[in-house]
Amino acid sequence: MKLLTRKRLLIVAVAVASLLFVVPNSHAEVIITQRQTKAIRTHCVENQASLNQLHQSDAFLRIDRGNLYRTISDKLMTPLNTRLAANKLDGGALISITKEFNDQYKRFYANYITYDTALAKLLNVDCTKEPVRFYNALLDTREARQQLGESNDALVQLIRDYKNQFDDFYVAYMESQ
């Protein structure tokens, strides 16, 4: 009886241990052709240089866009919403766009962190020695950049939406005077 319990315990322990060793992968490793491997190796140095440059220009772009988006929200959208409310005017639609904009900004912020981490990993891969690992890291970075680009586009669209909503408000206000 005791032996049976020990065996069961051992089986459970092995099962738990094997579960711990199964590490989820972001995506299955892509197999690349020999032609691609050769091209990665051939253009390794120039690609690393251009990726480094991209890393720097993206850092600048992120700060620049971030400042612009915060300025639009904190120094234009929010003050107008507050002023409309203080004057007892209906700015409900404008408030809702501002809220959506701030939520989207949080996504943009997080997506940039993910992208930058992926790009830093890509830059750390030696493309001459490990072309397959380099290509897989490139795919991860590309995916992260796509998500970042989408959240950036969504922010720009919300800035446009706010302007359109403001134009409607302006026309309605002028007509009511």
Partner 1 sequence: MNEHEHTESTGAMQQVRKHQFATFLIVAILVALFLVYIALSLYHSSGTFQLDLSRPGFAKAREDITRERQVFEGYSKDGQINAAALKEFNQLYSQELKDATAIDAFSGEALTDASLQIPTN
Instruction: Give the residues lining the site for partner 1 (CB under 8 A).
Output: 33, 35-36, 39-40, 42-43, 46-47, 50, 52, 54, 56-66, 68-69, 71-72, 74-76, 78-80, 82-84, 86-87, 89, 109-110, 112-113, 115-117, 135, 138, 141-142, 145-146, 148-149, 152, 155-156, 159-160, 162-163, 166, 170, 173-174, 177
Classify 27 in phi/psi space as left (phi over 0), alpha (psi -120 to 50) or beta: beta
Cβ contact 20:103 at 8 Å = no
The tokens for 135 are 């290509």
CA distance from start to end of the chain: 92
> Based on CB atoms, which residue is closest to partner 1, 26 or 109?
109
> Based on CB atoms, which residue is closest to partner 1, 8 or 79?
79
- The CA distance from 143 to 147, in Å, is 6
Q: To the nearest whole angstrom, how small is the minimum distance from the Cβ of residue 141 to partner 1?
A: 6
Q: To the nearest whole angstrom, how small is the minimum distance from the Cβ of residue 161 to partner 1?
A: 11
Q: To the nearest whole angstrom, how small is the minimum distance from the Cβ of residue 111 to partner 1?
A: 9
Helices (H), ranges, the chain: 2-21, 34-42, 44-71, 78-86, 92-124, 131-176
Q: Is 170 exposed, middle or buried (0-12, 13-18, 19+ CB in 10 A)?
A: exposed
> Based on CB atoms, which residue is closest to partner 1, 7 or 163?
163
Q: To the nearest whole angstrom, how small is the minimum distance from the Cβ of residue 29 to partner 1?
A: 16
User: Which helix (H) or strand (E) element contains residue 23?
Assistant: none
> Based on CB atoms, which residue is closest to partner 1, 15 or 89?
89
Q: To the nearest whole angstrom, how small is the minimum distance from the Cβ of residue 24 to partner 1?
A: 21
* Rg of the chain taking only CA atoms, in angstroms: 26
